[in-house]
Structure 1
Amino acid sequence: MFARVKKSGKYQYLQIVENRKEKGKVKQRVIATVGRMDQLQAKGRVETLIRSLSRFSERTILVLSGNSEVLADAKKIGPTLIFERLWERTGIKDAIIKALNGRSFQFDVERAIFLTVLHRLMVSGSDRFCDRWHRDYVIDGIKDLDLHHLYRAMAFLGEELSDQNKASPFSSRCIKDLIEEELFFHRCDLFTGLDLVFFDTTSIYFEGKGGQNLGRRGFSKDHRPDLKQMVVGVILDNHGQPICCEMWPGNTADVSALLPVVEEIKKRFSIRSFCIVADRGMISADTLEQLESDDNKMLYILGARMRRVKAIREQVLSSPGRYAQVLEEGKSSKDPAPLKVKQVNLDGQRYIVCVNPRQARKEARDRDTIIAALKDQLKKGPKSLVGNKGYRKYLKVAKNSIHIDEAKIKSEARFDGKWVLRTNTDLSAAQVALKYKQLWQVERVFRDVKSLLETRPIFHRHDRTIRGHVFCSFLALILRKELDCCLDAAGHHFEWAEIKQDLKALQTVTIEENGKRLAVRTQCKGVCGKAFQAVGVALPPTIKEI
């Protein structure tokens, strides 16, 4: 049975028609002629008839005539659907629930942590804003959560454990450590391990007191020595997966951090041997001595200080020998950077000298530009040059004159495009250089950490809440990395800003009239559909009865 419009003369009539079979053939029978279409539409009687008939339907039908109050509510569903799945797949949900075993809270701690992490992923803003932000999202289990619940959940993550046997010299062992270890063992099996570890640190400053112990003044990588800060260390495996994060007082020096981290990895993750890759800021004579002692015998690939270490500056860089080509120079700037290497053995130590010809040319051009400008400035008078750092290192000040230091220019040219590594591994020179270049993954993590931690001023007053605050950003990084891996496996490479925008565009619109409700899903835009396919999440139906 259906409705149709029948034209008769100059008018159209609305009819209700029935299909029926007679002698094997389908014939139509007009049950009723409702009336002329122009008259029915003028008086809104078509909608009235449909609404009347819908009372006898078992399925919801909404007819929006404008004669009654219609309620409509739009909420974002894309981010929740994607990251809820990854939350479970990475084992974060189970790890938090396990850590909560035996504890009693008057709210859902796991949901409070997920809400905080999702907020860090999607926007940069204070945790105080999260309490209002989630009203625009569909997230299960957060209806009764308030701002103080989020703070209490972060305090739980940073809560100190009674057993401090595996604690580092700089920080206490906390609930977040148990979760990190659970996540590590969730990823690993009998056939996977940890053979390569990347480690680096950064600083995060506070505009408040910064807790009881974490907030200290030290060397600021943010160029804010006037503010208290904390040091955050991140450890990645050879696949770029975050393993754990460390949080230390702001006056902790990089050179004192490497050995405790090595020992902590051994204890926490039950790993006897691995190779650690770290930047030159981690090196000291004492550190190298202990790494190579009979008690440790730790494999390492460490950046070396070319300018500060006399043996490297005068002997390693001057050592004769041909460079071996590792990566050819591409035609586009998007191609991998060119790379040449050579091995130098000095006093029983193995050094790898690396050079990027493209970077060498750039540094030479930049220096030539500075020297040319410096010569012009010298003609005008030397007084304006003394305070300029870019100029100052190329100047030689005599008793009554200032002139360009040609020896300094020649000396600086020796470092163009080069860096030096020190290693005790059996890897080839090319392999050592390529492994070290993977440290960019840690640098990218730190860029992400900084963006995820754009919540200043930080209002947390206690160390445990600060630790939980930073750890939520670390969990957000794990989810981002997992999404990147899914997209990469599917052959997709998208910008994070693009992914966020298109996921947030996916919404569900709930329409309600006279007690009947329908949920209408908006169309997938941009990369949203490919993200859902890569993660393996089915899109909700376009229209759904509630």
Structure 2
Amino acid sequence: MYIRTISRKNKNGSVTRYVQLAHNVRNPVTGTPQAKVLYHFGRADELDMEGLKRLAASIHRFVGEPQAPSPSPSTSVTLLSSRSLGGVWLLDQLWKKLGIGEAITRRLADREYRMPVERAIFAMVANRALAPSSKLAMEDWVDREVAIPDLPAFDVQHGYRAMDFLLTSEESIQREVFHTVADLLNLEVDLLFFDTTSTYFETEEDDEDDFRKTGYSKDHRPDLPQVVIGFAVTREGIPIRCWVWPGNTSDMNVVPQVKKDLIGWKLGRVVTVVDRGFSSEDNLRVLQQSGGHYIAGEKMTSGKPAVEAALAHPGRFKMIRDNLEVKEIVVGDGEARKRYVLVRNPEEARRDAARREAHLERLRTELARLKELDGEAHTQAHCRLHSHPTYKRYLKTDKRGNLRIDLASVKAMEHLDGKYLLRTSDDTLSAEDVALGYKQLLQVEAAFRTLKQSLELRPVYHRKEERIRAHVLLCWLALMLIRIAENQTGQTWRDIRSLMQTLHLVEYRLDAGKLRQRTELTDEHRGIVSALQIAEPQQIWDISLS
């Protein structure tokens, strides 16, 4: 590390000299040393040379090396603050690398804001990823706990105005961010996975309105108002688009809008993968409109003639990768033909058989105990078994009204062990691609788990529809950054966050002034930075001479 000067020739022929703090690093391509500037002191003719000398003397005394010709008789070092830097720095570098900040800033060009809108949005996204809290609590978080570049303070009212702006630019920002991310990371966007989840509201004002409504709750809280959230996710697990609907919206009713929105993005050939909840004939027809195709899960116990025919179709399974076996089946002829792929996982088949045998063993014990009861106790036990969510599938009632194990049902279940049935409209996809493509639907489920656990989507403190929508957008941006970090490092976000949060920005006072400097990077820090191909945080952040 050393002090250097550079010169710049002005238009009038004069020369201005600038003083910098720098150190040499080796160019990774050429192998030659090159200077890296750590701090700009400014113009040489305006520099406080005496203050710089005092700072140099303080640094020498601090590291235990007296400065010639004579050391100062005493020195003092006062630690003023220490804030977490690493997690925010990582997210900010990805934010800039993916062009998210630029996409937001471009839409601010014709707006007259006197507040740092882009920085406020980033701060709220970083808060979701690092330490989820209310927008009001973020004021203390930014002021005391983290160092966010170019944002010394956060005002909750500024945050709300930034959320309002984000919502007005929702469609254009999502589209632009997607195309930038897809190009930069070379994402495969010919196969998209879609699913929905719900999130409820735990507030004192829990009355319904036009947006927060009760409906089918995937969180098992049908008693509370909720909203429905949908994600379109690539095969790499990157969420490229999100939607928010009123809480009483049915999964069957969102497919037309999702299909329309994605067609507007001109993604080319899109094969949409949907779960069994979306596989109604109407939904599948919508997915095929405008040349689209689908891979859909089929409920094997639906009783549909085509499904029964597919399950009864003879033929051998073919082993593919990921411990899966597939069998391709075509039911019907001509335009009425339907293409199915029956998938079997041998390991899952063994687990299904073991679980069923355990259920049957407990059920035999319960039936034996039932015979020993009479009167009201017998009636209650009988009803409890007959309506049991697990045991009822194995039971039937004989002519005398007694419960018996239904051996025919047990035999039918054995036939389905470790299997699931898929239907596709795309004849160009191999049976292997169909099976592996559907398996990647788990990426959507993983995204929802991260949304609710790591990002703490709930509790939602907002009541107005526009604020709820903006809150989900912030969570989507945070989830996208998290998934990219996980994919490129091969580590979980929990581990990445825990490690990077140990990197701090420290401010302390020396005799000659104040200095802000980051702590040293460890090999683990450098490994993450290298995997993400982002710059290391600068070592010296600020020097003020006094």
Q: What is the CA-CA distance between 1:538 and the residue it aligns to?
A: 2.1
Q: What is the CA-CA distance between 1:486 and the residue it aligns to?
A: 3.2
Alignment-mate amino acid for residue 265 of structure 1: L
Q: What is the CA-CA distance between 1:109 and the residue it aligns to?
A: 0.9
Partner secondary structure for residue 158 of structure 1: helix
- Which residues of 2 match residues 119-268 of structure 1 at below 5 A? 119-134=127-142, 135-159=144-168, 175-187=169-181, 194-208=189-203, 209=206, 212-267=209-264
Q: What is the CA-CA distance between 1:192 and the residue it aligns to?
A: 8.3
Match of 2:347 among 358, 370, 377: 358
Counterpart in the other structure of 1:396: 396
**Alpha-carbon separation, structure 1, partners of 2:370 and 2:387:** 13
Alignment-mate amino acid for residue 495 of structure 1: T
Over 3 Å counting, the alpha-carbon distance change for 1:150 and 1:225 in structure 2 is same
Q: What is the CA-CA distance between 1:289 and the residue it aligns to?
A: 3.3
Q: CA RMSD in A?
A: 2.7
**Alpha-carbon separation, structure 2, partners of 1:82 and 1:110:** 17
Contact conserved, 1:116 with 1:127, CA < 8 A, in 2? yes
Counterpart in the other structure of 2:494: 497
**Alpha-carbon separation, structure 2, partners of 1:179 and 1:89:** 15
Over 3 Å counting, the alpha-carbon distance change for 1:75 and 1:416 in structure 2 is same
Instruction: Give the TM-score normalised by the residue count of structure 2.
Output: 0.78
**Alpha-carbon separation, structure 2, partners of 1:66 and 1:507:** 28
Partner secondary structure for residue 110 of structure 1: helix
Alignment-mate amino acid for residue 145 of structure 1: F
- Which residues of 2 match residues 61-460 of structure 1 at below 5 A? 61=58, 70-134=78-142, 135-159=144-168, 175-187=169-181, 194-208=189-203, 209=206, 212-267=209-264, 269-271=265-267, 273-292=269-288, 296-327=290-321, 336=322, 338-347=323-332, 348-381=337-370, 383=378, 384=381, 385-398=385-398, 399-425=400-426, 426-454=428-456, 456-460=458-462
Partner secondary structure for residue 390 of structure 2: helix
**Alpha-carbon separation, structure 2, partners of 1:178 and 1:92:** 11
Segments of structure 1 that go 5 or more residues without pairing to the other structure are 1-52, 160-174, 328-335, 488-492
Q: What is the CA-CA distance between 1:477 and the residue it aligns to?
A: 1.4
Counterpart in the other structure of 1:475: 477
Segments of structure 2 that go 5 or more residues without pairing to the other structure are 1-49, 63-72, 372-377
Q: What is the CA-CA distance between 1:279 and the residue it aligns to?
A: 1.1
- Which residues of 2 match residues 5-20 of structure 1 at below 5 A? none
**Alpha-carbon separation, structure 1, partners of 2:268 and 2:537:** 45
Over 3 Å counting, the alpha-carbon distance change for 1:145 and 1:176 in structure 2 is same
**Alpha-carbon separation, structure 2, partners of 1:136 and 1:515:** 26
Counterpart in the other structure of 2:44: none
Contact conserved, 2:276 with 2:296, CA < 8 A, in 1? yes
Instruction: Give the TM-score normalised by the residue count of structure 1.
Output: 0.78
Report the count of equivalent residues.
462
Over 3 Å counting, the alpha-carbon distance change for 1:238 and 1:362 in structure 2 is closer
Rg larger in 1 or in 2?
1
Q: What is the CA-CA distance between 1:245 and the residue it aligns to?
A: 0.4
Partner secondary structure for residue 316 of structure 1: helix
Counterpart in the other structure of 2:9: none
Partner secondary structure for residue 128 of structure 1: coil
Q: What is the CA-CA distance between 1:460 and the residue it aligns to?
A: 1.2
Match of 2:535 among 531, 534, 537: 537
- The CA deviation string for residues 99-133 of structure 1, in whole angstroms up to 9 with x for no partner, is 22312223111111000000111123333322212
Partner secondary structure for residue 291 of structure 2: coil
Over 3 Å counting, the alpha-carbon distance change for 1:188 and 1:373 in structure 2 is closer
- The CA deviation string for residues 454-501 of structure 1, in whole angstroms up to 9 with x for no partner, is 2543221211111110100111112112323432xxxxx222211111
Q: What is the CA-CA distance between 1:195 and the residue it aligns to?
A: 2.0
- Which residues of 2 match residues 11-90 of structure 1 at below 5 A? 57=54, 59=56, 61=58, 70-90=78-98
Counterpart in the other structure of 1:19: none
Q: What is the CA-CA distance between 1:187 and the residue it aligns to?
A: 3.8
Contact conserved, 2:58 with 2:511, CA < 8 A, in 1? no
Alignment-mate amino acid for residue 289 of structure 1: R
- Of 83-92 and 311-320, more deviation after overlay is shown by 311-320
**Alpha-carbon separation, structure 2, partners of 1:141 and 1:58:** 25
Over 3 Å counting, the alpha-carbon distance change for 1:237 and 1:210 in structure 2 is farther
**Alpha-carbon separation, structure 2, partners of 1:429 and 1:359:** 19
**Alpha-carbon separation, structure 1, partners of 2:172 and 2:163:** 15
Contact conserved, 1:71 with 1:513, CA < 8 A, in 2? no
Alignment identity in percent? 33
Over 3 Å counting, the alpha-carbon distance change for 1:89 and 1:502 in structure 2 is same
Over 3 Å counting, the alpha-carbon distance change for 1:133 and 1:273 in structure 2 is same
